[in-house]
Amino acid sequence: MKKVFFLALFCVTASLAKAEQVVVQTRHNTLVLNVEKGAQPKYVYYGAKLSALDLQHLQTPRADGRMEIYPAHGLNTPAEAALAMRHADGNLSTALIAESVEQNGDLTTINLKDPVYPITVKLKYKAYEEVDMIEAWTEITNGEKQPVTLTTFASAMMPIRRGDVWLSHFYGSWANEARLVEEPLTPGQKVIVNKDGTRNSHTDHGEVMFSLNGKGQENTGDVIGAAICYSGNYRLKVVTDDTDYHYFFAGINEDNSEYHLKKGETFKTPALALTFSQEGLSGVSRNFHKWGRTYKLMHGNKERKILLNSWEGVYFDINQKGMDQMMADIASMGGELFVMDDGWFGDKYPRKVDNSSLGDWVVDKNKLPEGIEGLLRDAKKNGVKFGIWIEPEMANTTSELYEKHPDWIVKAPNREPVLGRGGTQVVLDLSNPKVQDFVFSIVDNLMSKYPEIDYIKWDANMAIMNHGSQYLTMGNQSHLYIEYHRGFEKVCQRIRDKYPDVTIQACASGGGRANWGVLPWFDEFWVSDNTDALQRIYMQWGTSYFFPAIAMASHISATPNHTVFRTTSMKYRIDVAMSGRLGMEIQPKNMTDEEKALCRQAIKEYKQIRPIVQFGNIYRLVSPYDRKGLASMMYVTDQKDKAVWYWWKTESFQNEHLPRVKMAGLDANRMYKVHELNRIDLKPLDCEGKSYSGAYLMNHGLDVPYRNEVDWGKKTDWASRVLLLEAE
């Protein structure tokens, strides 16, 4: 009988003799690896949990699949490699064979070495038992006498058996983030990369799902989900060649980033988080949301405040009276926090528009004569908390900071810098420890002087356009992207060590920082600068594949919308914003009394459903991408005693025929009482106050009118519904 290593709560270190089965288990998933001393370790299985007997009788995968867990370049060069390096003597080939296996609690380590060169590689697997997640990463150590150059260094590789495998991934751009694409995997390579340098989710996203049995379904079917947990440039690649497998590689994007690993130094890759679900795409999302809220997201178990952000209301037109008025308005609608956005700072160069002052984090006394003290006083008077916007990684060439420290910016050697936003923006070089200290000090100064600050919006509005560091040596210029993010992580960690309680939003020209490599230090992210409710349905749909509602900042804004100029009803805007972390991004003094009353009511009702939305399990029901004229999804509590159901029209035609939506995730045997939230219709729905079994709601569903039945002059094209279901 084969010897079996099980992940257990004790430490086993084994030097291997013959083939060993290494098993990493979570509640519903099993990963099986085959490790034999002197040979390359191989994948055997990843999927639904296996019984002891199945494990014993597990088939070895077909010989024509390349099952090596971490293929190195050099001795089978036609195959794609996870690791490639130039050894100190110039040799481009590496071989990796197993030495030993360690299992210590939830962590499994496979120790590999090159039989000829003193290079060791540790393959790490960390199991999150309860939430069905396995994080995989790699640690590469150079034991050679001189530096070696890493040219390929994936976090992990996973073979996926061919069949009818579909890939779900996300593309986008500013104001159009997280657009879902679903496509079958075909021969060739599918490569998803980020090269922004600072942010990494505006365009492609670092997360993918593989539906193993044809086009992904939301709540049925086998699906693997994978997310690269890294704030910097990444590369996800699926290679499909002449074997029975697709080969999925994920890690840092190595383009222009070869890494010189010093003698004795260890290079640790970011983790790839993996989950498997038999409950379809939404099942994978639920696993990611639970894992994220429990282990990754800052304050993932704490309800978020309902806020008003000043940006779309006043843009740069900040002044004390205006801020006070906005605070009073959000307080009167039941909000809990006011956030002052861009435009409050700069002394020698006051920030009037976007072309100056970044780096000069002192109050503009002309706009705010009583400083932050005055704002905090007004916040207290109005009964709301206070938050503030900063963009700490950046400067403008028109700033006192740049005048003092021109050597702190990211810039190619011997060249003038390419400038960003406003024609003057530059990125600070976070590879430089002095810059790290400066960036830390921005938050430290604010928080130590004004500990009442409750919330920080941390923005980042420029890519690394210039490849070059004035701090790194000429020989190590290729380390810039990696060192930038090491610096970023260090600063974030220092901030969190000192200020664990403050809420921090990751904003990056909108949704540029939705990634699990960022969120361990941040409470949420701004989904997009586009607050148009209709387009938000599409973007929030995509975002929800990997990120929970608690992290998705979703604000009610004015119409015509400032980005797409669409006019939607206040009810529609509220109903969409209420499916994420609700906030407002509007000038309240321009709102009608009726609009204010609607928002007041919505905020009141959101407080009631906040735990369901922010901690509930997502069930996506009808996708806007399927073009059925509507989109629908719901959140259900762990106990299945409460749920919130959303229904939004995504098209509007006369006499159109929309499908009735079947619900999901409820307890078939319980009765649920229906109550419509944010009601504007003159008459209640026919299901209002009535009770239905979970079975009926899931097998049949509720019909709702396609339009909101309101007075003639108030009718609009964009109907929506939000229903609260409470078990009796």
Footprint of ligand DGJ (CB under 6 A): 311, 341-342, 389, 459, 461, 507, 509-510, 526, 529
Helical segments of 578-640, H only: 593-615
Q: Tell me the closest approach of the beta carbon of residue 457 to ligand DGJ, in angstroms.
A: 6
CA neighbor of 312 nearest in space, from 564, 563, 575: 563
Nearer to ligand DGJ, 507 or 534 (CB): 507
Residue count of the chain: 728
| Closest separation in Å from C-beta 528 to ligand DGJ | 8
Q: Smaller CB distance to ligand DGJ: residue 283 or 422?
A: 422
| All residues at 6 or more sequence positions from 389 whose CB lies less than 8 Å from its CB, including other chains | 311, 339, 340, 341, 342, 344, 456, 457, 459
Q: Of the two residues 69 and 508, which places its CB atom closer to ligand DGJ in the complex?
A: 508
Looking at the Cβ atoms of 108 and 461, the one nearer to ligand DGJ is 461
Residue 517 C-beta: closest distance to ligand DGJ, Å: 19
Max CA-CA distance within the chain?
82
C-alpha closest to that of 489 among 449, 450, 519: 519
* Angle made by CA atoms 161, 165, 170, in degrees to the nearest 5: 125
Q: How far is the CB of 296 from ligand DGJ (least distance, A)?
A: 22
Q: Which is nearer to ligand DGJ, 45 or 455 (CB)?
A: 455
Nearer to ligand DGJ among residue 461 and residue 469 (C-beta)? 461
Contact between 151 and 512 (Cβ < 8 Å): no
Query: 585 is written with which tokens?
Result: 């991004």
Tell me how far, at minimum, the Cβ of 464 lies from ligand DGJ, in Å.
17
Count Cβ atoms below 10 Å from residue 50 Cβ, excluding itself: 18
Cβ atoms of 24 and 125 within 8 Å: the answer is yes
What CA–CA distance (Å, rounded) separates 521 from 369?
Answer: 33
Estimate the crossing angle of helix 480-498 against helix 433-449, to 10 degrees: 30
Closer CB to ligand DGJ, residue 171 or residue 316?
316
Q: Which residue is nearest to ligand DGJ (CB)?
A: 342
Report, in Å, the least distance between residue 422 CB and ligand DGJ: 10
Q: Which is nearer to ligand DGJ, 254 or 341 (CB)?
A: 341
In the Cβ-directed half-sphere of 604, how many Cα atoms lie within 13 Å? 11
Question: Could you tell me the smallest distance in angstroms from the CB atom of residue 337 to ligand DGJ?
Answer: 15
Query: What contacts 373, CB < 8 A, 6 or more positions away?
Result: 450
CB of 394 to ligand DGJ, least distance (A): 10
Cβ closest to ligand DGJ, residue 311 vs residue 718: 311
Q: How near is the Cβ of 600 to ligand DGJ at its closest, in Å?
A: 24
Task: Give the dihedral of Cα atoms 166, 172, 177, 181; nearest 10 deg.
Answer: -20
Q: Are 102 and 120 in contact (CB under 8 A)?
A: no
